[in-house]
Amino acid sequence: MATIKSLDDLKRLREEALEKRRVKTEGGNAQVIVGMGTCGIAAGARETMKAILSQIETEEISGITVTQTGCIGMCEREPIVQVMVGEGPKVTYGKVTPEVARRIMKEHVLSGKVVEDFVIPA
Amino acid sequence: MREITLHLLDIAENSVAAQAKTVFIAVCEDIPADRLSASVKDDGKGMDAETLASVVDPFVTSRTTRKVGLGIPLLKAAAEACDGQLQMASQLGKGTTLEVEFRRSHIDRMPLGDLGSTILTLVVAYPHIHWLFSYKVIPDVETGAMQEFLFDDAPIKAEIGDIPLTEPDVLAFFRNYLEEGILAVQQPALLI
């Protein structure tokens, strides 16, 4: 896939995107929320977010909503990422390095298997 | 924080929390004047004079999860440690502007950092906000003319329509556009 550069390319992209078949997440759409409070940023949350977006881009995964949240009070466990796939439960992960983020994308988001090692119990 | 861009990301999050609809992040490296300056300007709910004066206090925060808010005080300390300063202006109901500057060549001045990832993170996470970004470098007189990259996400979003920004092709577009724009400024001006 050639890199898109100009606004003209964007016009074409709009048409293609609506037709192209892409890798879909297990159980439909997924929501990924990355903690981006001061504590999260200091702990490396931007790199975590970068890894998630990079995965979406290279693996061509469609249907993922990525948002951010502020500090949820567990600063020592940052970077924190919350994942909800389809109608499944919201799982909160702690100490999510870029590598762990890639695992979560592969195992939880794409295959529906929660990465138990990094889950913060409710 | 280890990069100025991480501080800027943090300050921009404040703008989002203040329900801003437009946020303008500007960075300028003035090599002849030896200053690195940055600003985050929003049209959020703003602060009254008393609140504005209090935000540099680490024990003042709008969050309820903890009793400290370190973002602004730490940025202020970082700037002041580099012969720089932090200034804020705000008007209730109108918005807030934070300006920070450092002596660019100061030995303690942390790296500017990954501008592209910072802007991309904000644009993708908060698609309902209008993001503007300006990166300017004023090089040494011998090196050449000022270089500037101006990023406005509005025309791109208008073109994409209702396709989410997290669609792989759209993500790729934004990422490349930001990276190339930033590099186009840095290469001639900073001789990278």
A68 interaction partners in chain B (CB closer than 8 Å)? 13, 121, 125-126
Q: How confident is the model at residue B163 (pLDDT cuts 50, 70, 90)?
A: confident
What's the confidence (pLDDT) of residue A19?
65
Measured between CA atoms, the residue of chain B closest to residue A67 is: B125
Amino acid identity of B109?
Answer: R
Q: How confident is the model at residue B144 (pLDDT cuts 50, 70, 90)?
A: confident
Amino acid identity of B115?
Answer: L
What's the sign of the alpha-carbon dihedral A31, A36, A41, A46? positive
What's the confidence (pLDDT) of residue B141?
85
Residue A68 in contact with partner chain B when CB distance is under 8 A: yes
B168 interaction partners in chain A (CB closer than 8 Å)? 22, 56-62
Q: Could you report the per-residue pLDDT of B69-103, keeping only the tens digit for each?
A: 899 999 999 999 999 999 999 999 999 999 999 99
Beta-carbon separation of A71 and B163 below 8 A: no
Rg of the Cα trace of chain B?
17
From the list A10, A41, A72, the residue facing B156 with the nearest CB is A10
From the list A10, A66, A73, the residue facing B66 with the nearest CB is A73
Interface residues from chain B to A (CB-CB < 8 Å): 1, 6, 9-10, 13, 17, 63, 65-66, 69-71, 74, 114, 117-118, 120-121, 124-126, 155-156, 159-161, 163-164, 166-173, 175-177, 180
A37 interaction partners in chain B (CB closer than 8 Å)? 13, 63
What's the sign of the alpha-carbon dihedral A101, A30, B176, A3? positive
- For residues A75 and A93, the answer to whether their CB atoms sit within 8 Å is no
What's the confidence (pLDDT) of residue B67?
85
B178 interaction partners in chain A (CB closer than 8 Å)? none
Q: How confident is the model at residue B6 (pLDDT cuts 50, 70, 90)?
A: very high
With helix as H, strand as E and coil as C, how does chain B read?
CCCHHHHHHHHHHHHHHCCCCEEEEEEEEECCCCEEEEEEEECCCCCCHHHHHHCCCCCCCCCCCCCCCCHHHHHHHHHHCCCCEEEEEEECCCEEEEEEEEECCCCCCCCCCCHHHHHHHHHHHCCCCEEEEEEEEECCCCCCCCEEEEEEHHHHHHHHCCCCCCCHHHHHHHHHHHHHHHHHHHHHHHCC
Beta-carbon separation of B156 and A7 below 8 A: yes
Determine if residue A16 is left, alpha or beta; phi over 0 gives left, psi from -120 to 50 gives alpha, anything else beta: alpha
With helix as H, strand as E and coil as C, how does chain A read?
CCCCCCHHHHHHHHHHHHHCCCEECCCCCEEEEEECCHHHHHHCHHHHHHHHHHHHHHHCEECEEEEEECCCCCHHHCCCEEEEECCCCCEEECCCCHHHHHHHHHHHHHCCCCCHHHECCC
What's the confidence (pLDDT) of residue A88?
85
- For residues A22 and B171, the answer to whether their CB atoms sit within 8 Å is no
Select the residue from B121, B123, B183 to test the A interface by mutation, using most A Cβ atoms within 10 A.
Answer: B121
Q: Could you report the per-residue pLDDT of B174-190, keeping only the tens digit for each?
A: 999 999 999 999 988 88
ipTM of the complex: 0.90
Give the C-alpha separation, B16 to B5, whole Å: 16
Q: How many CB pairs lie under 8 A apart between chains A and B?
A: 112
pLDDT tens-digit profile, chain A (122 residues): 344 456 777 777 777 766 665 666 555 689 999 999 999 999 999 999 999 999 999 998 888 999 999 988 899 999 999 999 988 889 999 999 999 999 999 999 988 899 999 999 87
Beta-carbon separation of A38 and B114 below 8 A: no
What's the confidence (pLDDT) of residue B192?
63
